[in-house]
Amino acid sequence: MNNLRIWLSLLFVFSVGCALVVHGQSRSRSKRAPAGQKTATLPGTAPDTAFENAVKVADEARVAGRLDEAIEAYTKAVSIRPKWPDGWWYLGAIYYARDLYPQARDAFSNLVALQPERGPAWGMLGLCQFRTSEYERSIASLERSYILGLDDNKELKSVVLYHSALLYVRFEQFEMAYQALRQLENYDNQKIIEAFGLIMLRMPVLPNQIPGDKREQVLLAGRAGASMAARHLDASRKFFGELVANYPDDPNVHYSYGVFILPQDAETALKEFQRAHELDPNHQPAMVQMAFEYLKRRDYDAALPLAEKSVALAPRMFPARNVLGRVLLELGQIERAIHELEEGVRLAPVSPDMHFALARAYTRAGRKADADRENEIFKKLEEKYNQQTETKQTDGVKGTATPKPSPENQK
């Protein structure tokens, strides 16, 4: 048995294949329980000795791969010292490795209650909640883990980003899903291609729910989306060309092609968005993109009705809140703008663009403390995002389906 599995039996099921994730923790075995902490005793055994014995048995069993014995011993240890965080980590890790997700979830829930700033624990809790179909709780936990940080654990970060993307897709937050996926180090995996395809076609389902007659289209759209994320322009043009030729009556195909071509040819992109709107008069994302383009051109009268209708059609879509808030701000309707942008931040708390736009609105309103707070959040999120993507930066396609602002203080 290799050293990774000896150190931590933590198996992530990543659709196909698996990745072992190491989480080394220095464990402090103090001779005294924390003040006020209740301890249990074993018959004829002092509490400290009972705890140390349970930990010794648990560690030896884990190293030897005797996981049932390890679970029993770690359970005994945390019953003696329920505030021992590493015990809950190991219990959760072993339960997760054995696909016992409800038990793993409960262990990691205990851990984050003890250490609410421990990002990897929130990540693992979110993955467990995904497996138990607690999707709203899962995305909240995964977002929190990302904000807190994952201790440079690349394997855990990849799995957190992938599952976050799937949940964003399910909740129709396709722009957030795209931003999450493109932070992965590579896209050479069919499951990731499928996820990109769901984003490009704006299908709010999980991969195992893709209809059989849609799978070929999803994979083709996924290759187009993955090539766009990787900034392989020639490949992107090829795949999008095939997609438009094969599925000319699908409004989402025209919409996605418009997103791809926008940084290179705004006029062609606008025509693609208009075509999507013709095919589906209630195509909310196309309205958002047209509103953004008119905002860029300072044609606020054309942008405002599109932005307002896009929010009315899909009030949970944060890009619509973004563009409406920014249009209102340019029109001097500051309080309405703040309301829309605050709602956008609530819907997309890890979107740098949302925090930046809200900071601008607070500045216009003279709310300096609020503006400073939002600017600090923006800088942290933008720095983290750029760290993930800077190695992929080349001339060509923007990395988000929502046009990014050009903030004066953006690095």
Does some domain include residue 357?
yes
Check whether residue 155 and residue 15 sit in a common domain. Answer: yes
Q: Which contiguous run of DSSP H or E holds residue 37?
A: none
Residue 152 lies in a domain: yes
List, in order, residues 6 or more apart from 363 with CB less than 8 Å away.
371
Token code pair at residue 152: 């440079």
What are 251-294's pLDDT values in tens digits?
999 999 999 999 999 999 999 999 999 999 999 999 999 999 99
- Going by C-beta distance under 8 Å and a sequence separation of 6 or more, which residues neighbour residue 389? 182, 183, 399
Q: Based on the structure, what is the number of domains in the chain?
A: 2
Decide which of 171, 206, 238 is a domain's last residue. 171
In single-letter form, the type of residue at position 382 comes to E
pLDDT for 152: 84
Is residue 352 assigned to a domain?
yes
**DSSP 8-state assignment for residue 183:** T
pLDDT tens profile 115-132: 999 999 999 999 999 999
Residue 87 belongs to what domain range? 1-23+41-171
**Do 157 and 290 fall into the same domain?**
no
Residue 325 tokens read as 């808030």
DSSP E strands in 187-287: the ranges are: none
Query: How far is residue 344's CA from residue 288's CA, in Å, rounded to a whole number?
Result: 14
352 Cβ contact partners less than 8 Å away, ≥ 6 residues apart = 378, 381, 382, 385
> How far apart are the C-alpha atoms of 342 and 321, rounded to whole Å?
9
Q: Name which of 180, 176, 144 is nearest 159 in CA terms.
A: 180
Domain shared by 144 and 18, yes or no: yes
Q: Looking at residue 46, what is its pLDDT?
A: 54
- The H or E element containing residue 168 is helix 154-170
CATH of the domain at 292: 1.25.40.10
SS3 of residue 17 by DSSP = coil
> Residue 111 and residue 250: Cα distance in Å, rounded?
47
Q: What is the pLDDT of residue 52?
A: 94
The string of pLDDT tens digits covering residues 230-244 is: 999 999 999 999 999
What confidence tens digit (pLDDT) does each residue in 311-367 have? 999 998 899 999 999 999 999 999 999 999 999 999 999 899 999 999 999 999 999
CB 397 within 8 A of CB 237: no
How many other CB atoms are found less than 10 A from the CB of residue 402?
25
Report the run of H or E that residue 114 belongs to, with start and end: helix 101-114
- Could you say which of 129, 151, 171 is where a domain stops? 171
Does residue 33 lie within any of the structural domains? no
User: What are the pLDDT digits (tens) for 386-401?
Assistant: 775 554 444 333 333 3
Higher pLDDT, 387 or 60: 60
Tell me whether residue 267 is in a domain.
no
Residue 219 belongs to a domain: no
Asked which of 136, 171, 206 is the last residue of a domain, the reply is 171
Mean pLDDT across the stretch 375-392? 77
Within a domain: residue 92?
A: yes
E strand residue ranges, 328-391: none
pLDDT single digits (tens) 4-36:
222 233 332 222 222 223 233 333 333 333 333
Task: Using alpha carbons, select from 274, 199, 254, 191 the residue that is nearest to residue 229.
Answer: 199
- Return the DSSP state at 205: S
The pLDDT tens digits for 66-114 are 999 999 999 999 999 999 999 999 999 999 999 999 999 999 999 999 9
pLDDT tens digits for range 163-202: 999 999 999 889 889 999 999 988 889 999 999 999 999 9
Position 6 scores a pLDDT of: 27
pLDDT digits (tens, 9 = 90+) for 349-361: 989 999 999 999 9
CA–CA dist 317, 328 (Å, integer): 17
| Same domain, yes or no: 2 and 131 | yes
Examine residue 88 and state whether it is found in any structural domain, yes or no. yes
Q: CA 56, CA 214: separation in Å to the nearest integer?
A: 53
